[in-house]
Amino acid sequence: MAKTKAMMEAAMMMRQKHQWENDKKHVGHVVGIEVGDIFQSRVELNVIGLHRQFWNGIDYMGTGKNSLATSIVVTNRYDNARKSNGTLVYSGHGGNPNVKSNVSIQDQKLQGGNLALKNSMDTKSPVRVILKFCKKFEVGSNFDYLYVYDGLYLVDKMTEERGKLGKLVFKFTLNRISEQPQSCVALKDDVMGNDDSSRQLASSRPRNRHKSRGSVVQKDVVRVNDLSKGKEKFPIRVVTLTNCVHIPKSFYYIVKSIYSDKFNQATIPCGCDCKDGCVNCDKCVCIIKNGGIMAYDCKKRLASPMGSLLIYECGPSCKCSSSCINRVSQHGIQFQLEIFMTELKGWGVRTRSFIPSGSFVCEYIGEVRDSRQSGLSIDVDDDYLFHTGVGKGFIDATKCGNIGRFINHSCSPNLHVKDVMYDHDDKNLPHKMLFAAKDIPAGRELSFDYNSKGKFINDRSNSCYCGSQECNGQIYIKGINFKLFIY
């Protein structure tokens, strides 16, 4: 106990000196931490940001219905069971005298960490799982308990049943996400039993862990803490491998596109008169523009099929509130994203948290310009140009842009582009919004098909390195190549 107290005091001194890593809680892997990594104490878990609770087994961020579990520590203080097939049955917290001797035995309540785990189940948000060993894991260790990071799990089921003490207990069934390296531990038995010996995990030397391309479990170093400098809801980190010290070329980070004088004449469209959250599809003029069909479901994900090529969101002239179900992409990034250096494609973007299919990811933002503008050179950097639609308008993210400028092409993308209108009435200049085309696990690189919505190219480099089975070796397919015309 004295050793633990001393370590906690040292950790708090480090925190005061801003020496803690990953100081903001987040969902998903922690940069620099690999599946199978071993830690000697809970204090160490706090300092590196893997689990920010000194005593509680469930760590979470947010409050109430907006809370999400970030990590759990599996111990024998509760009736937890871990199966060899990657399934974990985890008991909720509260009313357990094994944790606090002075606590009264009572039914567990759906609050705090229990509620956060339920919310993670409802949103399919991944949870980090750390296993506590009830014996010395390595020869020469001075600690009775060691902790192993076992990777990301999804909460698939929640039940409420009578526990051994006769009170209601929450039971959460978690399943390990596939395509992760195996941790360096194995169970002696299929399920962790009630006696101390069966709770102990058999140890083995760490295996050679295969690192998946674009996975955040690689040994990365944070080079820039927030490329947006506070302009986004979440910090946009730049990470590279330890042997790569590059950072992206300088540009001005913006969260709203900048329109040239030619395009500043677009007027704000007339809005709806809805005051009930735009739930009446027959009366809301914005939904009528969408073919009388809601563009988004109750979880604010894309609904299908759509009755319109354009998505019309409620705008500044509408009387509905900012929380209206028809206001989604205009609220900006809702998931934690980061920029990393790929093996062959330069900079790329990956998600640090699970993104459900149909969710809005980000907008492609830059300077909205006309190719017939004077002074526009054919030497313009076509890596950051995006055609807006009919006419000669395009988005130039060379000097001003957001994280969208770093998203790479793939012949088998996990994002698709949707044209969205809400703040002006010029159909030739829709917002280019990127939505998840499928469920995207944490650590996966984001990509979209450059052919689908008109990424420009000057024939400078057309080789594709996406590595998908559908890859044809070229980014731009002959016959649908979008050229930049200079007048």
- Using one digit for the tens of pLDDT, what is the confidence trace for 209-254? 344 433 344 467 889 999 999 999 999 999 988 777 788 999 999 9
Instruction: Kindly state whether residues 300 and 352 are assigned to the same domain.
Output: yes
Instruction: Among 203, 225, 245, identify where a domain stops.
Output: 203
Residue 126 lies in a domain: yes
Residue 483 lies in a domain: yes
Residues 324/314, Cβ–Cβ less than 8 Å: yes
Per-residue pLDDT tens digits for 321-365: 998 999 999 999 999 999 999 888 889 999 988 899 999 999 999
| Global confidence as pTM | 0.57
Residue span of the structural domain in which 430 resides: 214-487
Count structural domains, the chain: 2
Instruction: Kindly state whether residues 172 and 223 are assigned to the same domain.
Output: no
Residue 208 lies in a domain: no
Instruction: Kindly state whether residues 285 and 362 are assigned to the same domain.
Output: yes
Instruction: Kindly state whether residues 401 and 428 are assigned to the same domain.
Output: yes
Instruction: Kindly state whether residues 136 and 283 are assigned to the same domain.
Output: no
- Exposed e or buried b per residue across 295-319, where buried means at least 16 C-beta atoms within 10 angstroms of its C-beta: bbeeebbbeeeeebebbbbbbeebe
Instruction: Kindly state whether residues 341 and 465 are assigned to the same domain.
Output: yes
Residue 314 lies in a domain: yes
Instruction: Kindly state whether residues 324 and 265 are assigned to the same domain.
Output: yes
Instruction: Kindly state whether residues 164 and 310 are assigned to the same domain.
Output: no
What Cα–Cα distance (Å) separates residue 21 from each residue in 30, 50, 67, 122, 349?
Answer: 10, 9, 22, 29, 21
Instruction: Kindly state whether residues 438 and 295 are assigned to the same domain.
Output: yes
Residue numbers in the chain where pLDDT is lower than 70: 1-5, 19, 77-79, 83-85, 95-104, 134-144, 183-219, 264-266, 305-308, 371-382, 390-392, 452-461, 476-487
Q: What is the domain-level CATH number for residue 247?
A: 2.170.270.10
Instruction: Kindly state whether residues 246 and 123 are assigned to the same domain.
Output: no
Q: What is the domain-level CATH number for residue 177?
A: 2.30.280.10
Instruction: Kindly state whether residues 302 and 372 are assigned to the same domain.
Output: yes
